[in-house]
Structure 1
Amino acid sequence: MNKWKLHFGWYVVLASFIVLFFNAGARYAFGVVFKPIIMEYGWGRGLLSAVFGVNMVLFALGLLVVGKLYDRYGPKWVLLISTLIISLGFILVSQTRSFLGFFLSYGVLSALGFAGTSIPLVSTLVSKWFERRKGLATSLALAGGSLGHFALVPIVALVTQKWGWRSSFLGLGLVMFVVNVLLILWVIKGDPWQLGLKPYGMEEEGGKVILSDESYGLSLGESLRRSSLWFFSLMMFICGAGDFFSTTHLVPMAQDYGISYIQASKMLGWYGLMSLFGLLGAGWLSDRWGCRIPIMLTFLLRTLLFLMLYLYKGSWSFYLFALVFGFTHLVTAPLTPVLAIKLYGPKNLGIITGLINTIHFIGGGLMAYLGGIFYDVFRNYQLALFLMSFLSGIAIFSTYAIKDKGEKI
Structure 2
Amino acid sequence: MGHRSSVLFAAGYMLMAGTRSLWQLMLSYGVLAGVGFGATTPPMFGAIICRWFERRRGMAVSLAMAGSCLGQFVLIPPFTGMSIALGWRATSFWLGAAGFVLNVLLAVIVIRDDPVPMGIAPYGHVSSPASGAAVHASHSHGAADLSLRQAIRTRPLWLFAVSMFVCGGADFLVSPHLVPMVTDQGISTTTAANMLAWFGLLSLAGILLAGPASDAIGDRVPIAITFALRIALFLMIPLVQTEATFWIFSLGFGLTFLVTAPLTPTLSGRLFGFANIGLIAGFVTTIHQLGGGLWAYLGGAIYDATGSYALAFAITMGLTAVVLVCMLMLK
TM range (shorter): 0.7 to 0.9
Residues 1:151 and 1:246: Cα distance change in structure 2 (over 3 Å): farther
Shift in Å, 1:171: 8.1
Match of 1:236 in 2: 164
Letter in 1 for 2:279: I
For the Cα contact (< 8 Å) 1:92–1:105, is it kept in 2? no
Q: Quick one: which of 250, 253, 278 aligns to 2:178?
A: 250
Aligned to 1:66: none
Amino acid at match of 1:235: S
2:35 maps to: 112
Paired residues for 1:63-212 under 5 Å = 70=1, 75-85=2-12, 111-126=34-49, 135-150=58-73, 155=77, 173-174=92-93, 176-189=95-108, 190-191=111-112, 209-212=134-137
> In the alignment, is residue 357 of structure 1 matched against residue 285 of structure 2?
yes
Please state how far the C-alpha of 1:319 moved relative to its aligned partner: 1.8
Q: Secondary structure at the match of 1:346?
A: coil
- 1:184-212 deviations in whole A, cap 9, x for unaligned? 24333342899x99688589999975245
* Cα deviation digits, residues 340-394 of structure 1 (max 9, x gap): 2232222332222221111011111111111222222223322222222122111
Distance, in Å, in 2 between the alignment partners of 1:388 and 1:122 is 30
TM, length-normalised to structure 1: 0.65
1:357 partner letter: T
Deviation of the 1:292 alpha carbon: 2.0
Cα distance change of structure 1 residues 193 and 358 upon mapping to structure 2, 3 Å threshold: closer
Is the contact between residue 128 and residue 191 of structure 1 (CA under 8 Å) also seen in structure 2? no
TM-score relative to the length of structure 2: 0.78
Structure 2 SS opposite 1:217? coil
> In structure 2, what is the Cα distance between the partners aligned to 1:176 and 1:271?
26
Distance in 2 between residues matched to 1:402 and 1:207, nearest whole Å: 35
1:265 shift after superposition: 2.5
Q: 234-243 vs 206-215, which deviates more?
A: 206-215
One-letter code aligned to 2:3: K
The answer to whether the 8 A contact 1:241-1:364 is kept is yes
> Does the CA-based 8 Å contact 2:210-2:263 persist in structure 1?
yes
Within 1, Cα distance between the matches of 2:316 and 2:309? 11
For the structure 1 residues 271 and 199, does the alpha-carbon distance in structure 2 shift closer, same or farther, using more than 3 Å as the test? farther
What is the one-letter code of the residue matched to 1:296? A
Taking a change above 3 Å as real, the CA distance of residues 193 and 118 of structure 1, as seen in their structure-2 partners, is closer
Report the alpha carbon displacement of residue 298 of structure 1 after superposing the two structures with TM: 0.6
Q: Which residue of 2 is the match for residue 341 of structure 1?
A: 269
Once the two structures are superposed, what CA deviation does each residue of 1:306-349 show, in whole Å capped at 9, x if it has no partner?
22222333322222122111111122222222222232222332
1: distance between equivalents of 2:307 and 2:27? Answer: 28
CA displacement 1:222-274 (0-9 Å, x = unmatched):
32232221111110101111112222211232233333334323322222221
Match of residue 268, structure 1, among 189, 196, 205: 196
Q: How far apart in 2 are the matches of 1:388 and 1:103?
A: 33
Show CA shifts across 1:258-307 (max 9, x none): 33334323322222221222222223322333222221111011111122
Distance 2:211 2:304 in 1: 40
1:145 CA drift (Å)? 2.3
Residue 278 of structure 1 corresponds to which residue in structure 2?
206
Distance 2:31 2:240 in 1: 37
Q: Residue 369 and residue 285 in structure 1: after superposition, are their counterparts in 2 closer, same or farther (change >3 A)?
A: same
Q: Which runs of 5+ in 2 are unaligned?
A: none
Partner amino acid for 2:44? Answer: L
Instruction: Indicate the percent of aligned positions where both proteins have the same amino acid.
Output: 38
1:310 aligns with 2:241: no
Q: 1:85 to 1:102 in 2, by over 3 A?
A: closer
Count of residues in Structure 1 that have an aligned counterpart in Structure 2: 319
Change (3 A) 1:149 1:260: farther
| CA–CA separation in structure 2 for the residues paired with 1:329 and 1:182 | 31
User: For the Cα contact (< 8 Å) 1:129–1:200, is it kept in 2?
Assistant: yes
Separation in 2, partners of 1:170, 1:279: 33
8 Å Cα contact 1:150-1:269 kept in structure 2: no
Q: Render the CA deviation track for 1:113-142: whole Å, top value 9, x for unaligned.
A: 541332223334555666776544432221
Which residue of 2 is the match for residue 39 of structure 1? none
1:36-73 superposed Cα distances (whole Å, 9 cap, x missing partner): xxxxxxxxxxxxxxxxxxxxxxxxxxxxxxxxxx2xxx
How far did 1:111 drift? 4.2
Aligned to 2:328: 400
Which AA in structure 1 matches 2:302?
A: F
Q: Is the 8 A contact 2:164 2:284 kept in 1?
A: yes
Q: Does 1:376 align with 2:297?
A: no
In structure 2, C-alpha distance between the alignment counterparts of 1:133 and 1:303, rounded to whole Å: 30
Q: Which amino acid aligns with 1:397?
A: V
Q: 1:222 aligns with which of 150, 155, 164?
A: 150
Over the aligned positions, Cα root-mean-square deviation in angstroms equals 3.8
Asked if structure 2 preserves the Cα contact closer than 8 Å seen for 1:83 and 1:117, the reply is: no
Are the equivalent residues in 1 in contact too, given 2:56–2:215 (CA < 8 A)? no
